[in-house]
């Protein structure tokens, strides 16, 4: 199964000083090793970027509030993303058919979502319709039933 990473996983992987970098790195190593061992490496990507995650990563890498004095320029932030997606096994995935309907179903659920969860609902709907596993540090994703989710354990 291909994994769809939340931006918090990509950010933790990209920034060595991030408090969850070690946990994200363990996940990364285990995920790539399992694909290498299974021989699925070339057949299908094991990790997926969405445009919204790409934009989130590039934005966070530019933000002094997130990066402190290590904030990058927009151009350098984009280079970090380009370096990641150039790794074999990582792909920028197109939106799957049925995404809009799945997204509408998640945000029309009986328990109203707070506005801060609308992007999370998009990622959950994407994972559902593309049959991907969503990987995140954010426990709030548990609210989206029907989504395959792995919540990474922090140190």
How many Å apart are CA 36 and CA 30, to the nearest integer?
A: 10
**C-alpha gyration radius of the chain:** 16
- Give the pLDDT score at 40: 56
- Give the pLDDT score at 32: 73
Give the number of other CB atoms < 10 A from CB of residue 72.
17
| Residue 48: strand pairing partners | 4, 91
How many Å apart are CA 63 and CA 74, to the nearest integer?
A: 10
Q: List, for the chain, all residue ranges whose pLDDT scores fall below the cut of 70.
A: 34-45
- Give the pLDDT score at 79: 96
How many Å apart are CA 3 and CA 98, to the nearest integer?
A: 19
């Amino acid at each position: 199964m291909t994994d769809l990473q939340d931006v918090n996983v990509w950010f933790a992987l990209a920034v060595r000083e991030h408090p969850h970098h070690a946990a994200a790195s363990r996940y990364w190593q285990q995920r790539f090793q399992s694909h290498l061992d299974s021989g699925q490496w070339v057949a299908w990507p094991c990790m997926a970027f969405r445009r919204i995650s790409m934009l989130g990563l590039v934005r966070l890498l530019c933000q002094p509030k997130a990066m402190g004095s290590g904030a990058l320029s927009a151009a350098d932030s984009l280079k970090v993303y380009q370096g990641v997606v150039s790794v074999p096994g990582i792909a920028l995935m197109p939106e799957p058919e049925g995404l809009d309907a799945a997204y509408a179903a998640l945000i029309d659920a009986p328990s109203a979502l707070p506005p801060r969860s609308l992007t999370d609902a998009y990622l959950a709907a994407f994972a559902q319709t593309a049959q991907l596993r969503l990987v995140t540090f954010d426990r709030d994703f548990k609210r989206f039933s029907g989504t395959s989710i792995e919540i990474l354990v922090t140190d």
